Chain A
Amino acid sequence: MKRRIPLMIVLITGIFGAVAFFVPHPAIRSADELMRNDVQRIITAFSLVLGVGSIVQHHLLKIKRHAQFWPYSYITIIALLITAIIGVFGGIDVTKPGILPTRIASFSFHIQTIYSNMMVPLAATMFSLLAFFMSSAAYRAFRARNLEATLLLLSAFILMLGAVPLGRAIHKQLPAFAEWILAVPNTASKRGILFGVELGIFATSLKIILGIERGWLGGGK
């Protein structure tokens, strides 16, 4: 029963979702609208509670057991609490204040300030590290070892040259040639890959809806 009920729900909702996409009948439409606007939203709200609960439980356990890097768990929980309280009760910005005061003299700490001054620089810092790894990899690993690697190297070189003004200085048609590489050979190969991927998604979805693929139920053997 524990397995049958979820399988039945997936079968019914899966078939309904597909049917609703193709049948414009008002009854189907309104049922579909109810599913999307109400049912899915309620499920998502529950998943949010589950997510917050899971992260708090995980870090509290780490603190209790003094697991590796456990002091950082305090930072996670405190940051989560402060951001949630300010986000829910503190309003959006200075023009839209909430019930919680988020200003001390000229210093404001509403959600947009926290976002712009903490979230954005932290995320940008992490992402910018990619440039350093890419340049190191380009220096150490991007070698013309065989024909395939040489072709890849040449295309990358042309694309990079096409993206900088030096490319036009070398030859006027170089940027257009770089654009052609992206628009023609790249598109041709991408289309082939996309067809394969979409067919794979279709087959896997069918297997899940029909209950042939049950890995998502969890529980191992």
Chain B
Amino acid sequence: MNRTKENILIRLQHIDRRWIYLILWLVVMIPLLFPFKIQPRPTPPVTQLFNYIDTMPEDKALAISVDFTPDTRAELQPMVVSLMRHAFAIKRRVGILAISVYGLGLGEEAIQQVTEEFNSRARNHEDSVIYGEDYIFWGWTTPVLTVMLGMGERITNVFPVDYYGNKTETLPITKHIKNYDDIGVLVTIAASAIPRSWINYAQTQFGVHLSCGITAVSAADFYPYVNSGQFIGMLAGMKGAAEYEQLVRQRMEKNGMTWLLRNRGTEAMSSQTSAHLTIMAFIIIGNIAYFAVRRKRK
């Protein structure tokens, strides 16, 4: 190895971290502004959840627990949106709750977006999604244990009023969703260990079917529960959200809903892919420089 090459490698070893930050910023920003098309292929855990919801009996509802905070919104909010779209597309009732108080705003955002998408294109009463009939936002209450165990007995005891201040007993949907027996699957979307609590309390005592959507970094922690069947599939990170979006898009097209909807998870995949490749390149360059310096020292 000649001296110039060696010097470059040594300098690379001590590169100012601000250059790394700048490169990463560009790599994330440019694909966001000029995205390239990536359609991830659904992995088995994602397909498993999709198929389960898709074939759920008509009288069973989908419950979504918005258990994450705004910092992970980019990664997890697309999951809430696509799960709601899926349920509405196949005419299943939806119940939304929040275990974290921060989840209230995120749940409300998703509800506003998805109901607007469906209602603005509805041609008749049948096509539209109506609050209190087709979906309900139970809101938030505390403590966690009260919610998880109480919902197994009677949901209206846990949430006497919904997020908007309506008495839940007076809403028609309450006749169809009384407790866990009426819920086909409860999907907890979280960036913490909350999905484990759902298993410990709600599933162990009441046998409710569960699934989860979690951040990519915590995916490894939940694979044991997917393998044991305690979770029906899993959506892991932005890739999981993008995969689910693809499946929902296909389902909606099959149902004649050929709408142009924004799929935030899929849109961000080009940026995430570029960032992954860059970090891999960083690791390779860092190791080459490390071994070059080590050889020189020997």
Contacts and interface: CB of A to CB of B under 8 A. Distances in A.
A and B are partners in one complex rather than unrelated chains: yes
Max chain A CB contacts within 10 Å: which of B153, B158, B282, B283?
A: B283
Contacts of B112: 93
Nearest to B147: A36
A186 interface: yes
B38 A115 contact: no
B70 interface: yes
Given A119-B70, A135-B20, A96 B280 contact: no
A34 to B, nearest CB: 11
Given A138-B286, A144-B287, A157-B280, A124 B21 contact: no
B279 A160 contact: yes
Contact of B71 (A123, A156, A190): A123
Contact of B70 (A40, A120, A168, A182): A120
Contacts of B126: none
A41 to B, nearest CB: 7
Interface stretch (A5-13, A61-69, A126-134): A126-134
B275 interface: yes
A160 B24 contact: no
Nearest to A166: B277
Interface in B135-190: 141-143, 145-146, 149-150, 153, 157-158, 163-165
A40 B146 contact: yes
B contact face: mostly helix, strand, loop, or mixed: helix
Contact of A183 (B74, B146, B223): B223
A138 B283 contact: yes
A163 B239 contact: yes
Contact of B24 (A135, A144, A156, A166): A135
A175 interface: yes
Interface residues of B, number: 60
Contacts, number: 134
B286 A164 contact: no
Size category of the binding interface on chain A = 35 or more
B71 A126 contact: yes
Given A41-B142, A124-B70, A135-B24, A160 B276 contact: yes
B224 interface: yes
Interface string B262-285: 000000000001011111101101
A136 B17 contact: yes
B150 A138 contact: no
Nearest to A179: B43
Contacts of A179: 43-44
Nearest to B28: A131
Given A33-B153, A143-B290, A44 B142 contact: yes
B277 A164 contact: yes
B273 A164 contact: yes
19 contacts: A33-B150, A40-B143, A93-B112, A115-B70, A115-B105, A119-B70, A120-B70, A120-B73, A126-B71, A131-B275, A135-B21, A136-B17, A138-B282, A143-B286, A143-B287, A144-B287, A157-B283, A182-B220, A190-B220
Given A131-B24, A131-B28, A161-B280, 19 more contacts: A36-B149, A115-B70, A119-B70, A123-B70, A124-B70, A126-B71, A132-B25, A136-B20, A136-B21, A139-B283, A139-B286, A142-B287, A143-B286, A163-B276, A179-B43, A183-B223, A183-B226, A186-B223, A190-B223
